[in-house]
Structure 1
Amino acid sequence: MLKLGIIGTNWITQQFIDAAQASGAWQLTTVYSRQLARAKEFAATNQVAETFDDLEQFFSQGSFDAVYIASPNSLHFEQAKLALQYEKHVIVEKPAVANPAEFAQLDACLAAHPNCLLFEAARQVHEVNFKRVKDQIAKMTQIQGATLTYMKYSSRYDAVLAGKTPNIFSLDFAGGALQDLGVYLVYDAVGWFGLPVKETYVPTLTRTNVDGKGIAILNYPNFTITLNVGKTSNSFLPSEINGLRDAIVMNNPAELAQVAYHDVTGQVKTIGVQPDANPMLAEARDFAAVINDPTGHKTDYQNWRQLSRDVNQLLFNLRQSGHIYFNDAERQLSAK
């Protein structure tokens, strides 16, 4: 059984721990938090004894094989790099890193530590319904476009309205709607259709200068995909992939709980399955399978890494298009 260490003690970390343990392949052994009291509290809830509030000690002394990183976006890069340097496998929440320069540095670090693996926790890619949609797209005579919507009001936006700057709405922490909910939509678009030939992002900025919502236009040679993303309002619209007279309709392109195919005669067929109760179960199983047998799952791992690389590049390009920069280096790159 693989031993798991975690960075981050929020709800998504707990969800991954529950999925990992439900898979039968993982055992939580080690908890890190900047506040030792919080680490101990979270560890006690999960019946774990080993806790740290020093990151170097966590990696050098912790008894785990792989680390799951669910810290604020801007911290992912340095924590993942440090994990690899200590010969730990890495599972990092999306977005894995902020830009292609950081992605390239992690690639170099992986090359220097060939026994280590790094996964971006893009959970829907590992789910059955994501693959069912891709299979159905391949059967359609012609794709004419798609509209994918994921807009969900964030309770942390209340803090923004109150004059505060929570991490997910902060440029310093690589926040914003595109870097949060938008990652799901970009993974869908790239996973199902590949990279576009041109991309444009029109953001609606909040008081903190991150995008609270926005519209991304992805231009492909023969069709266009529109991504509607937001954390400052709710949308209950379904999402569609349009063929000639047929279409795929999804209740939510991130959750993919309900997926149906409307054929050319108007008949509707459910092509999705009932999702797992824990949406992170499929990825927990897949990551364990690759770590336990990297040779047998080499192609899967390489495909996931390339998809992650492409998503990272597209997210960066969209932010550049929308003039959203997390640091001076990104701003200077845009000016060239």
Structure 2
Amino acid sequence: MIRFGVIGSSFISQKFIETAHSTQKFQLSAVFSRQLERAQEFAAPFQSAQAFADWQEFLAQDLDAIYIASPNALHYEQAKAVLLAGKHAIVEKPMVCHPDQLAELLRIAKENKVFLLEAARNTYEAAFESIGSFLRNHTILGAQFSYAKYSSKMPELLAGTEPNIFSEKMAGGALMDLGVYALYASVTLFGPAQKVAYQAQQLPNTVDLNGFGYLDYGHFQVGIFAGKNLTSTLVNEIYTDKGTLVLDSCQHIQKATFYYHDGSHIDLDIHAPSDNMLEECLSFIHIIEKGDQVLADSLTQRAEAVHQALYDMRQVAGIHFSSDPI
């Protein structure tokens, strides 16, 4: 049984706990919040969980892993402390705000013989293995990946407040949220891009509400679209010399259909679980229990490519965070 703690009391933390418990391999043992009452309220439904507002006391608990789902700008320092405490860190995407932070965390994880894992759920999907296998006999001509969903925090923003998801102090924005899924789809299937760019509709604080980007692979390009102030119903497409593969999404993929140039089509064999966090939880369990360094290293390579792309895209668009190097 993997004893784990949670930092953050949002909906995503609640969902992770539910999915983790459903595997019968995870047990929530500790919850941290800066407000003890909030931690107690969040931990109350789980008899095995203690609530903490003292950071050092929380880190001193007998835990195997800690899931970090705080605002983006806090991930690096919290993950660093978790790794130095000798515990595996499972960090909600995006893991960091700058590629140098990721390099530092990976060094610390290696020195302390623990794993640093990013909870970017679509890179763990078996659907991508099926898609990648199907595409091996095709010449890739391009792709389009999009994920845009109207944020529940938009009313607050429109009312004149600045929620964390739209704050430059908290490293918010569309690219640093839903855009991560589009980037992971591209990197998981095609690897690191040679060059990237991004143009966005931005707030006065430079944080993006939505934006279009591209990844240049030399002999083909991949377009991405991410948004938090609107909802997109676009399908995702991969273009090849033999036809077009249409995906219902770039994350939690449940349907993939290939349309040949002659008009015929076939459906790929995709079996996605109803719980969109299950595959990542099972992967975390496998890596932690088996000590699968090969899989962990493969995921690290993807994470490095995604975080470099995120940073480079922000520089092109002029999206600046308080946590950025001077």
- Whole-Å separation in 1 of the counterparts to 2:130 and 2:118: 21
Other-structure match for 1:224? 221
| Residue pair 1:241, 1:248 contacting (<8 A) in 2 also | yes
Other-structure match for 1:144? 141
Count of aligned pairs:
326
SS in structure 2 of the partner of residue 45 of structure 1: coil
> Alignment identity in percent?
37
- Whole-Å separation in 1 of the counterparts to 2:49 and 2:24: 20
- Whole-Å separation in 2 of the counterparts to 1:292 and 1:177: 34
Q: Is 1:321 aligned to residue 316 of structure 2?
A: yes
Change in CA separation of 1:70 and 1:210 when aligned onto 2, cut-off 3 Å: same
| Residue pair 1:9, 1:33 contacting (<8 A) in 2 also | yes
Deviation at 1:312, TM superposition (A): 0.7
Deviation at 1:29, TM superposition (A): 1.0
Deviation at 1:328, TM superposition (A): 7.2
Other-structure match for 1:104? 103
Q: Is 1:129 aligned to residue 127 of structure 2?
A: yes
1:146-202 CA-to-partner distances (Å, cap 9, x unmatched) read 111111111212211111100010110010100000000000111111122211111
Tell me whether 49-58 or 270-279 shows the greater mean CA deviation: 270-279
1:19-53 CA-to-partner distances (Å, cap 9, x unmatched) read 11111211111111111111111111223341101
Q: Is 1:270 aligned to residue 267 of structure 2?
A: yes
Other-structure match for 1:203? 200
| Residue pair 2:66, 2:90 contacting (<8 A) in 1 also | yes
Other-structure match for 1:192? 189
Deviation at 1:207, TM superposition (A): 4.2
Tell me whether 154-163 or 251-260 shows the greater mean CA deviation: 251-260
| Residue pair 1:165, 1:208 contacting (<8 A) in 2 also | no
Q: Is 1:158 aligned to residue 155 of structure 2?
A: yes
- Whole-Å separation in 1 of the counterparts to 2:190 and 2:92: 23
Tell me whether 199-208 or 161-170 shows the greater mean CA deviation: 199-208
Give 1:6-21 correspondences, 5 Å limit: 6-21=6-21
- Whole-Å separation in 1 of the counterparts to 2:31 and 2:314: 33
| Residue pair 1:125, 1:131 contacting (<8 A) in 2 also | no
Other-structure match for 2:71? 72
SS in structure 2 of the partner of residue 279 of structure 1: coil
TM-score under structure 2 length normalisation: 0.96
- Whole-Å separation in 2 of the counterparts to 1:254 and 1:272: 16
Correspondence for 2:169 among 168, 172, 176: 172
Other-structure match for 1:301? 296
- Whole-Å separation in 2 of the counterparts to 1:31 and 1:327: 27
Other-structure match for 1:2? 2
TM-score under structure 1 length normalisation: 0.93
- Whole-Å separation in 2 of the counterparts to 1:124 and 1:162: 33
| Residue pair 1:260, 1:270 contacting (<8 A) in 2 also | yes
Unaligned runs of at least 5 residues, structure 2: none
Amino acid at match of 2:2: L
| Residue pair 1:128, 1:272 contacting (<8 A) in 2 also | no
| Residue pair 1:177, 1:230 contacting (<8 A) in 2 also | yes
- Whole-Å separation in 2 of the counterparts to 1:272 and 1:72: 37
- Whole-Å separation in 2 of the counterparts to 1:162 and 1:4: 38
- Whole-Å separation in 1 of the counterparts to 2:20 and 2:324: 37
Deviation at 1:242, TM superposition (A): 0.6
| Residue pair 1:160, 1:207 contacting (<8 A) in 2 also | no
| Residue pair 2:121, 2:251 contacting (<8 A) in 1 also | no
Deviation at 1:309, TM superposition (A): 1.1
Unaligned runs of at least 5 residues, structure 1: none
| Residue pair 1:144, 1:242 contacting (<8 A) in 2 also | yes
- Whole-Å separation in 1 of the counterparts to 2:264 and 2:53: 57
Q: Is 1:261 aligned to residue 258 of structure 2?
A: yes
